[in-house]
Chain A
Amino acid sequence: MARVLIVGYGNPLRGDDALGWHAAQQLSENIRRQDVEILTCHQLTPELAERLSRSERVIFIDAACVGVPGEVSQQRVSPAVSAAVDFTHHFDVPALLACTQILYGVCPQAVLCSVAAESFELTESLSPAVEAAVPELLERVYRLLE
């Protein structure tokens, strides 16, 4: 069982929304620990709850649509059910954690690491501001793994 799960998510074809994929790729190349599992996905879905339930900690990596482009942030996230949740496209991290808690009776500690995006236009490249922020983002993830 992976002690730590890292989830990089977003749309890899929509500019800075691919941040989670880029970060996960670099983390996969650099982390050799058996107790760390890294996965990527387009969006959060209820199915991830089962995987979360088998982890002690989870680190989500996503682009933020607010803030100064390139600004790195991290925050603890707690389970919360959104009244607006009506379909899986709208699943967010608190909702996924709530889902895990309700269905499996456990909930990992969760941290969301993000970089404020500059552009979500159709491209597979990150914007210069977000690209430049990736090293700092990775550094934060490494510290969380210590």
Chain B
Amino acid sequence: MAQQITINPVTRAEGHGKITIFLDDDGYVRDAQFHVTQIRGFEKFCEGRPFYEMPSLMARICGICPVSHLITSAKACDELMAVEIPETAQYLRRIMNLAQLVQSHALSFFHLASPDFLLGLDSDPVQRNIFGVMQSHPQIARDGIMLRKFGQQIIELLGGKRIHPGWIVPGGVSEPLTVEKRDQILATIPEALATIQRTLDWFKRTFDNYPEEIRTFANFPSLFMGMVNDEGELVHYEGHLRFVDATGKVVADGIRAEDYQDYIGEAVEPWSYLKFPYYKPAGYPDGIYRVGPLARLNIINFCGTPLADAEWAEFRELGRGAVLSSFHYHYARLIEILNGIERIEHILNKPDILSKNVRAYAEPNRLEGVGIAEAPRGTLLHHYRINEDGIITYANLIIATGHNNLAMNRGVLQVAKHFVSGMKMQEGMLNRVEAVIRAYDPCLSCSTHAVGQMPLQIQLLSPDGTILDELRR
């Protein structure tokens, strides 16, 4: 008799989700579904609002990465205004985007994921949290706090506040950078660099402890997508979209933001509020692709900063083509922190960084605009249409967690196949399913609607829908 397993809630992720695992008549795993059970409706309720309100409205989607929505929304509005924003404004937006990347990656790695590495995947869940890390590895916990503070302080200095800063506006930024703020940020660079390098050294030494997890954590062939510039450099603000396959071969490149619908389709399923974007040329559901730190490091030709490039060379050694194990999202995240800190320093030392020319002004000059940027969790896309009065008539948002939706489902299925046998869930399965999802650092708050921890429930169901087993956390 076939069965079904449900995991609900999933812990230490942003939002609420539930997982169902279906068994066939012989007790083998047939399918797995990662359900997102709540909806926010930002795409609908912004209709009727003036376009220039969009950055502020969209930033409210998330308290962890408001800057990403602010920037991507502002870029879509730049397109509606048909302006090229001043170069200094681009630099300043990039700094804030990178600061956000650093603080968000630090949150994901140190606060959410590190308890698994430091305390063990099978340790007591009551202890396996940031407090457990503080007690057993206080220096690592302090390092996490330091890197979070580094990013948040930059956001606060530039935007006036750490959460939901309003400094990024259509046309540029609202205020130029001052000498004092620039120097204050530059002074924090050396400690931040030393901290992330120390973390990388430690984390790479732990790989030998997790050969099974590296082998089974959503380790499968897929496409990868992200932004690169014309040289194929790692970028997070300005560039075009590129897809590579599992061998590392570029399958689509130079995709402009406004052409995204030629390459990305969005499917829906009745069992989740989260959409299922897919690579159109491969169709649904075969067009599975991944975004985020792992994808970005798989699609680029180089990072563009010396220390990150050295690490990237080591990262590339992990796979013959693209690095496929989602376990290495964590490693990629750390390399991106390193790159982000180096790049912030580089941009701050540009001679015109203190220019007062930071904003272009215009009325709407186009009725449609698309903005893309790389958020910490992956490519973020905002697509707006307006009427002649500048009022929003249509909005489509594709969030990183959405891009990764098919891949997360595939990853859960892979773990389930490994840990479910004889119509029973083996010890450790719950922890590993959670850890696989956590590797993607999903933000269900962004993609739908949620606040706080992501509870986990696993249900084991028969083919006729009978609940045979259930786990909850």
List residues of A whose CB falls within 8 A of some B CB: 41-42, 45-47, 49-50, 81, 83, 85-90, 95, 98-99, 102-104
28 contacts between A and B (CB under 8 A): A42-B63, A45-B148, A46-B141, A46-B145, A46-B148, A47-B145, A47-B149, A50-B145, A50-B146, A50-B149, A81-B131, A83-B126, A85-B130, A86-B11, A86-B12, A87-B111, A87-B112, A87-B129, A87-B453, A88-B111, A89-B452, A90-B453, A99-B134, A102-B131, A102-B134, A102-B138, A102-B141, A103-B145
List residues 213-267 of chain B with CB under 8 A from any CB of chain A: none
Closest Cβ of chain A: how far from B219's Cβ, in Å? 27
Which bucket holds chain B's interface residue count? Answer: 20 to 34
Q: Of all chain B residues, which has the CB nearest A45?
A: B148
Which of B112, B144, B162, B453 has the largest number of chain A CB atoms within 10 A?
B453
Q: Does B163 contact A (CB under 8 A)?
A: yes
Main secondary structure of the interface of B (DSSP, over half): helix
Contact B112 A95 (CB under 8 A): no
Q: Are A46 and B129 touching (Cβ within 8 A)?
A: no
B111 to A, closest residue via Cβ:
A88
Report the minimum CB–CB distance from A13 to chain B (whole Å).
9
With a cutoff of 8 Å between Cβ atoms, the chain A residues found around residue B142 in the complex are 50, 103-104
- The residue on B at minimum CB distance from A105 is B138
Q: Is the CB of B131 within 8 A of A99?
A: yes
Cα of A47 to Cα of B112 in the assembled complex, Å: 14
> Which residues of A sit under 8 angstroms from B135, Cβ to Cβ?
102
Instruction: Evaluate contact between A49 and B145: CB separation under 8 angstroms.
Output: yes
Determine whether the beta carbon of A85 is less than 8 Å from that of B451: no
Interface residues of B in 121-165 (CB under 8 A from A): 126, 129-131, 134-135, 138, 141-142, 144-146, 148-149, 152, 162-163
Closest Cβ neighbor of B473 among chain A residues: A86
Question: A85: which B residues are within 8 A, CB to CB?
Answer: 129-131
User: Which of A45, A89, A103 meets B451, CB within 8 Å?
Assistant: A89
Q: Which residues of B are found within 8 Å of A46, using beta-carbon distances?
A: 111, 130, 141, 144-145, 148
- Report how far A46 CA is from B453 CA in the complex, Å: 16
- A47 contacts B148, CB within 8 Å? yes
B131 touches A103 (CB 8 A): no
Contact residues in A for B12 (Cβ distance below 8 Å): 86-87
User: Across the two chains, which residue of chain B brings its CB closest to A89?
Assistant: B452
Instruction: Give CA–CA (A50, B195) in the complex, Å.
Output: 15
Are A103 and B141 within 8 A (Cβ)?
yes
Q: Which of A83, A88, A90, A98 has the most CB of B within 10 A?
A: A88
Which one of B12, B129, B145 has the greatest number of beta carbons of chain A within 10 Å?
Answer: B145
Q: Chain B contacts of A47 at CB under 8 A?
A: 145, 148-149, 152
Q: For the complex, what is the distance from the CA of A49 to the CA of B148, rounded to whole Å?
A: 12
Closest CB of chain A to B317's CB: distance in Å? 34
Q: How far is the CA of A46 from the CA of B106 in the complex (A)?
A: 12
B131: chain A residues at CB < 8 Å are 81, 85, 95, 98-99, 102
- Cα A47 to Cα B151 in complex, Å, equals 11
A86→B453 contact, CB < 8 A: yes
Residues of A within 8 A of B452 (CB): 87, 89-90
Can you list the 9 inter-chain pairs with the closest CB atoms, starting with the nearest? A89-B452, A87-B453, A102-B134, A47-B148, A47-B149, A86-B453, A81-B131, A103-B138, A47-B145
CA distance A99 to B129 in the complex (A): 12
By beta carbon, the residue of chain A nearest B107 is A88
User: B63's closest neighbor in chain A, by CB?
Assistant: A42
User: Cα distance A87–B149 when bound, in Å?
Assistant: 17
Which residues in B have their C-beta under 8 angstroms from that of A45? 148
Give the residue name and chain of the B residue nearest to A84 (CB).
Answer: B126
Residues of A within 8 A of B148 (CB): 45-47
B348 to chain A, nearest CB (A): 22
Residues of B within 8 A of A83 (CB): 126
B138 with A89: CB separation less than 8 A? no
Contact assessment for A42 and B163 in the assembled complex, using a CB-CB cutoff below 8 Å: yes
How far does the alpha carbon of A102 sit from the alpha carbon of B135 in the complex, in Å?
A: 7
CB distance from B430 to the nearest CB of A (A): 14
Shortest CB-to-CB span from A53 to chain B, Å, is 10
- Cα distance A45–B298 when bound, in Å? 33
Given contacts A47-B149, A50-B145, 14 further A-B pairs with CB under 8 A are A41-B163, A46-B111, A47-B145, A47-B152, A50-B146, A81-B131, A86-B129, A87-B11, A88-B111, A95-B131, A102-B135, A102-B141, A103-B134, A103-B141
